[in-house]
């Protein structure tokens, strides 16, 4: 199913950051003051909701800032299945170097969502087809 709106990473990152600042700077003090002056059950529930919302926004903000340098496809679409990798890409990655580890790195740079084990398996399978010396 296609998304009707795909946010840019910048919009997502700054939206999370601004939301967190508003929760901490605007909503937080009034909520804490209300609980301190009138400690009713409703106000304690409001404080609990504010704490959970703040924790959720803090987590989302940290993740958004951590993912800022990852390629869009990996961030949005998730991991790449090994069956989606063209055999030519595996052969080219292996041909670009004489060693197994740089070939795995080259393949993962071409397909950022590809896991380490999957890349290793693809390179090893291709090396087996080409013989032990390459």
In angstroms, the CA 14 to CA 29 distance is 22
Q: Which residue's entry shows tokens 């804490």?
A: 32
Interval 73-92: pLDDT, tens: 544 455 667 777 888 888 88
Instruction: Tell me the pLDDT tens digit for each residue of 20-71.
Output: 999 999 999 999 999 999 999 999 999 999 999 999 999 988 988 887 776 5
- The CA distance from 21 to 66, in Å, is 18
CA angle in degrees (0–180, nearest 5) for 21-61-43: 50
Does residue 2 have a pLDDT over 50? no
With CA atoms as reference, report the closest residue to 94 among 82, 80, 105.
105
Instruction: Tell me 99's DSSP state.
Output: S
Given pLDDT bands bounded at 50, 70 and 90, which one contains residue 10?
A: confident
């Amino acid at each position: 199913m296609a998304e009707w709106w795909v946010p840019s990473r910048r919009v997502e990152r700054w939206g999370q950051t601004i939301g967190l600042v508003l929760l901490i700077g605007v909503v937080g003090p009034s909520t804490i003051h209300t609980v301190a002056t009138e400690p009713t059950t409703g106000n304690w529930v409001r404080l609990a909701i504010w704490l959970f919302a703040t924790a959720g926004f803090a987590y989302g903000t940290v993740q958004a800032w951590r993912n800022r340098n990852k390629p869009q496809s990996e961030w949005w679409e998730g991991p790449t299945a090994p069956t989606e990798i063209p055999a030519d890409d595996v052969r080219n990655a292996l041909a670009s170097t004489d060693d197994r580890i740089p070939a795995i790195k080259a393949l993962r740079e071409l397909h950022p969502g590809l896991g380490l084990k999957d890349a290793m398996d693809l390179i090893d399978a291709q090396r087996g087809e080409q013989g032990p010396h390459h």
